[in-house]
Structure 1
Amino acid sequence: MRSVLGNSRIFSRTPGVKQARLPPVRTTATASVVEKASDTKFAQYTPGTAFLFPGQGAQTVGMAKDVVEEVPAAKDLFDQASEILGYDLLKLCVEGPKDKLDSTVISQPAIYVASLAAVEKLRQTEGEEAVQAADVAAGLSLGEYTALTFAGALKFEDGVRLVKIRGESMQAAADARPSAMVSVIGLAADKVEELCEAANKEVAAEDAVRIANFLCNGNYAVSGGLPGCEAVEKLAKSFKARMTVRLAVAGAFHTSYMQPAEETLREALASTEIVVPRIPVVSNVDAQPHSDPDTIKDILARQLTSPVQWETTMKTLLEKGLQRSYEIGPNKVIAGIVKRIDKAHSVTNIQV
């Protein structure tokens, strides 16, 4: 069996979560990355075919059932992951219960492994040529780990351990300080920014909100303290939002509420081998691909407290001439977002 997924060394320990007092949520929507000479390999990349990997929220009970029965390489991935995690990941994906699969701690490893199982499905059904056709990759939040693994920068076993630590530390950070996320539907980004500013005037600084996920025009996720999220929900209609939806997540992801998780993840990344990707992997933090391993580690840590720049990622790829995309993994979340950005763009779903 030939696979893009390699073997890896094992972490000696899982760092503990630090319960430090957190600063107020920052409201800036962009993040800069210091450019290194070793980080310019993909500076002039030209995308043709993109593999796009989903993030938390794409999971559904029953996923992976068929793929592990039909694709031996996919079953091998779940077996390896279960051994590392210490529980039967496949059983949780196939049988649930839903509330457990939806938890941050379980859903992140589940989506990571299921998405890489979908790569093996594509390999078996359409051949190695179809897999190697991808010349750029990206992943929505958690999906960035899947994209880096697909691109050969991160070994599968290390990826499993990292997303386990990521999920656990994010859950712990959410438990330490009540927070939430709200999807605002029907407004442009500048109007959502104005909505956040209005909501923040009604709450204490430590409960402020900001846009955490820039998905596409009319679909932005706001993240922050519970009072701030409640203020957004109360004021949304006055800003002519079509609706708001409280997201079923543990807390205010991609804000400074996740600072303890960033510190924990940074420690884990320091002891993880990451190498130069074989193809560009576009970062959620700055919508650019990076080739320097230390920069990639820094970005993966910063991703937890930085807004997800998915809209800019897709627009940049399309402006650079992207011809077609594959959404690789459970559900069709990314395809729906891409179609909102460019209805004519070709997106093929490889689901599990």
Structure 2
Amino acid sequence: MRFAILFPGQGSQCVGMGADLFDARPDLLGDAADEILGWSLRDVCLKGPEDVLTRTDRAQAALFALGYAAWAELSTCLDITPVAAAGHSLGEYAALTAAGVFDYRTALRLVSIRGAAMAAAADREPSGMAALIGVDEEEADAISAGRRADGGRMWVANINAPGQIVVAGGRADIDWIVARGRDLGVRRVIPLNVAGAFHSPFMATAASEVATALRDIAVGPFSFPVYANVTGRPYPEGQVADLLERQIVEPVRFAEALVNMNVDAFVHVGPGDVTAGMARKTVKDAAVMVAGDTTSLAAIAERLNEER
């Protein structure tokens, strides 16, 4: 069975997540992680409170650490290797680390810098995101371009699945699309509970900070292909830093990545099941599995080993 692993991004966090992984992988989730982050990963994940865990700087680090720890557990049980990997937004760092491009400690430091930089960018002015249901990328792009032509600031930010596009913009732009969406042919507009306009020019200062952090970091060879958010295709050699910088201000082309992988099965690795839902909607004939705790990880490893 040709399978790909998928890692979730910000929004998949919940208080209580990863309890069994903290017990199984103290080497990844214990004191060493806390030393890098400057706060207790275990306490924030297991005790919250929710308003602390959902902060961009906390949520990104927590989701990365738990996603990678879940992969570390799964990989020890596998007799086969994935043929591809991808992560949604923040999840791309877990995918790259799983593929051996970064070591875990280096990636956790990078994610900590990224989360803090994106939080600071979001704090500079009110902005947000909204999901547009029932339109394709071309239609969403035309709506966004029309808004910009009228003096607004709105861009396509995520292409998640057929008929599921996310836009990012200023607070007034999000209010505008919520009010006008139906008149513009959008079946439904869902404002998202996020801190800012991620994957848009609103994040330019964060992209610059991440680029600086990446400048002196060693990059290892890929043990399997990772599909980049920016292109929806495998990372070319020598472009890790460039694509990660661009990812912060450009759209996440997740649906394209899912199609281009050409696999029989997808395994969502880490908290929640968001990427599993995207895979089901995008590649309807593929098997989709969710590996979020040690019990499901062991069962999925057994299935993949049997069907190789």
With structure 2 as the length reference, what TM-score do the two structures score? 0.90
Q: Which moved more, 1:329-338 or 1:340-349?
A: 340-349
Partners of 1:51 and 1:275 in 2: how far apart?
19
CA contact (8 A) 2:85 2:95 kept: yes
Question: Which residue identity is paired with 1:327?
Answer: H
Partners of 2:193 and 2:111 in 1: how far apart?
19
User: Which residue does the alignment assign to 2:216?
Assistant: 271
Partners of 1:296 and 1:258 in 2: how far apart?
19
C-alpha displacement at 1:291, in angstroms? 4.4
C-alpha displacement at 1:231, in angstroms? 1.4
Question: Which residue identity is paired with 1:112?
Answer: F
Do structure 1's residue 249 and structure 2's residue 177 form an aligned pair?
no
Partners of 2:98 and 2:7 in 1: how far apart?
10
Partners of 2:81 and 2:223 in 1: how far apart?
12
C-alpha displacement at 1:255, in angstroms? 0.9
C-alpha displacement at 1:338, in angstroms? 0.9
Instruction: List aligned pairs for 1:119-138, cutoff 5 A.
Output: 119-123=71-75, 127-129=77-79, 132-138=80-86
C-alpha displacement at 1:183, in angstroms? 1.1
1:301 alignment partner, SS class: helix
Partners of 1:310 and 1:291 in 2: how far apart?
17
User: Which residue does the alignment assign to 2:178?
Assistant: 233
2:15 alignment partner, SS class: coil
Identity %: 33
Do structure 1's residue 67 and structure 2's residue 67 form an aligned pair?
no
Instruction: List aligned pairs for 1:73-88, cutoff 5 A.
Output: 74-79=25-30, 80-88=32-40
Do structure 1's residue 146 and structure 2's residue 82 form an aligned pair?
no
* Dislocated runs of 4+, deviation >4 Å: none
Deviations 1:61-98 (A, max 9, x none): 111112223x2xx2221112112111111111111111
C-alpha displacement at 1:333, in angstroms? 0.2
Match of 2:160 among 173, 192, 215: 215
Match of 2:264 among 316, 323, 326: 323
Deviations 1:191-239 (A, max 9, x none): 222332343344x2xx410110011112111001122211111111113
RMSD: 1.6
Do structure 1's residue 196 and structure 2's residue 144 form an aligned pair?
yes
Match of 1:91 among 24, 28, 43: 43
Match of 1:308 among 252, 257, 260: 252
Question: Which residue identity is paired with 2:100?
Answer: G
CA contact (8 A) 1:270 1:297 kept: yes
CA contact (8 A) 1:181 1:253 kept: yes
Q: Which moved more, 1:262-271 or 1:115-124?
A: 115-124
Q: Across the two proteins, how many residue pairs are aligned to each other? A: 292
CA contact (8 A) 1:277 1:291 kept: no
Compared CA separation, residues 276 and 121, structure 1 to 2 (3 A): closer
User: Which residue does the alignment assign to 2:281?
Assistant: 340
CA contact (8 A) 1:287 1:312 kept: yes
User: Which residue does the alignment assign to 2:302?
Assistant: none
Question: Which residue identity is paired with 1:313?
Answer: A
Match of 1:113 among 47, 53, 65: 65
With structure 1 as the length reference, what TM-score do the two structures score? 0.79
Do structure 1's residue 177 and structure 2's residue 125 form an aligned pair?
yes
1:308 alignment partner, SS class: coil
Partners of 1:230 and 1:190 in 2: how far apart?
21
CA contact (8 A) 1:330 1:351 kept: yes
Partners of 2:277 and 2:267 in 1: how far apart?
12
CA contact (8 A) 1:92 1:101 kept: yes
Partners of 2:65 and 2:249 in 1: how far apart?
24
Question: Which residue identity is paired with 1:75?
Answer: P
CA contact (8 A) 2:8 2:91 kept: yes
Match of 1:57 among 5, 8, 11: 11
